[in-house]
Amino acid sequence: MKVLLTGANGQLGRCFQDIVPNEWQLIAADHDVLDITNTEHVESFVKQYQPDVIVNAAAYTAVDKAESEAVIARKINAQGPYNLAVAANKNNARFYHISTDYVFDGEKTKPYLTTDQTNPLGVYGKTKLQGEQLCLKVNPNVTIIRTAWVFSQYGNNFVKTMLRLAKERSELKIVNDQIGCPTYAGDLAYCIIQLIKQNNIPGIYHYCGDEVMSWFDFAKLIISKAYELNMIPKLPKLSALSSYEYPALVKRPAYSVLDKKISVTIIIYQVNWIIR
Ligand SMILES: NC(=O)c1ccc[n+]([C@@H]2O[C@H](COP(=O)([O-])OP(=O)(O)OC[C@H]3O[C@@H](n4cnc5c(N)ncnc54)[C@H](OP(=O)(O)O)[C@@H]3O)[C@@H](O)[C@H]2O)c1
């Protein structure tokens, strides 16, 4: 099987490369090799390599910065996936695209189903939702996997920030009223590989880590583990903040736990596609 991976240098991209089955032929394209916003290049690249599967791990993921860079965020999170979905469709490739829990507003108190109403609070979530919608519109064979709170040994993420701050500061103030599920990018990569192997039904899926917690709980876990492993010399004081007290450019969902059960959205979208 020939797999084209875009955004190969991101957290998910690098974890995917670490565990991709040996028998698969992987074309790992980072931003320099394939800019997913370049429609013509995406088209010619996919035509040239003829992958059986395309996995899009490329994204604009700077949630706060997106507020002032809406045009570029939209290009990468909506136009880019659209380009890939079109190219995949033309070349008979299965397309796997990754989306986010931030397509929801966080008003629910029970895990979000794939059928739940979306209502993103900020530019990042809005552009990711546009990406989902565009892909579903042009490609009946797209699989969209929404995930949350991604961390890994690669790139920048909450775990790395906490480890750095724990070394630099004696006290850390962390938000305690946003609840979600930290997701290891390697587990997400494994989930995608399993879906590809199983030749899953296209549609929307949810995948995230099993533990439900606040950013404060997550920080506590990271720091206590790091101390246990002698990665930090002393335990900093951890103080809980409310979202109102924490300076952020954009509101985040208060609750964005994803329900991982497969839902009928898949069938609904297929029916819509057939009707159109
Ligand atoms: N990180 C999270 O907490 C989180 C939460 C929920 C969902 N997600 C979703 O999970 C997926 C993977 O996220 P991640 O954390 O692995 O992201 P990441 O580490 O930020 O990696 C994104 C990658 O995309 C590349 N990229 C940006 N613009 C591109 C373009 N125009 N063409 C090609 N590549 C481009 C970046 O390369 P450069 O750096 O060179 O530009 C980077 O290597 C994304 O769809 C994201 O929206 C992430």
Ligand 1 atom, smallest distance to 12 CA: 16
Return the CATH number at 51: 3.40.50.720
In a domain, 126, yes or no: yes
In a domain, 218, yes or no: no
Q: Which of 82, 112, 124, 207 is catalytic?
A: 124
pLDDT at 262: 56
pLDDT at 249: 82
- In 3D space, the residue among 81, 67, 62, 80 whose CA is nearest the CA of residue 123 turns out to be 67
Q: What is the pLDDT of residues 209-261, one digit of tens each?
A: 999 999 999 999 999 999 999 999 999 999 999 998 887 889 999 999 999 87
Answer for the pair 5, 28: CB distance below 8 angstroms, yes or no.
yes
pLDDT at 87: 98
In a domain, 86, yes or no: yes
Backbone angles phi, psi at 98, to 5 degrees: -105, 135
- Mutation test of ligand 1: which of 61, 149, 158, 208 has the most ligand atoms closer than 8 Å to its C-beta? 61
pLDDT at 125: 98
- Mutation test of ligand 1: which of 5, 12, 184 has the most ligand atoms closer than 8 Å to its C-beta? 12
Tokens of 94: 């299965």
pLDDT in tens, the chain (276 residues): 999 999 999 999 999 999 999 999 999 999 999 999 999 999 999 999 999 999 999 999 999 999 999 999 999 999 999 999 999 999 999 999 999 999 999 999 999 999 999 999 999 999 999 999 999 999 999 999 999 999 999 999 999 999 999 999 999 999 999 999 999 999 999 999 999 999 999 999 999 999 999 999 999 999 999 999 999 999 999 999 999 888 788 999 999 999 987 543 443 333 333 333
In a domain, 237, yes or no: no
Tokens of 211: 């533990």
pLDDT at 16: 98
pLDDT at 89: 97
In a domain, 178, yes or no: no
In a domain, 82, yes or no: yes
Q: What is the pLDDT of residues 17-28, one digit of tens each?
A: 999 999 999 999
In a domain, 174, yes or no: no
Is 124 labeled as catalytic in the residue annotation? yes
- Mutation test of ligand 1: which of 11, 162, 256 has the most ligand atoms closer than 8 Å to its C-beta? 11
Lining residues, ligand 1, CB within 6 Å: 6-7, 9-13, 31, 35-37, 57-61, 76, 80, 98, 100-101, 128, 147-150, 155, 185
Handedness of CA 157, 114, 132, 256 (dihedral sign): negative
Tokens of 266: 């898949």
Task: Give the count of domains, the chain.
Answer: 1
Domain residue limits at 31: 2-157+184-208+258-275
**C-alpha of residue 118 to centroid of ligand 1, in Å:** 21
Burial 3-29 (b: 16+ CB within 10 A, else e): bbbbbbbbbbbbbbeeebeeeeebbbb
**C-alpha of residue 85 to centroid of ligand 1, in Å:** 17
In a domain, 164, yes or no: no
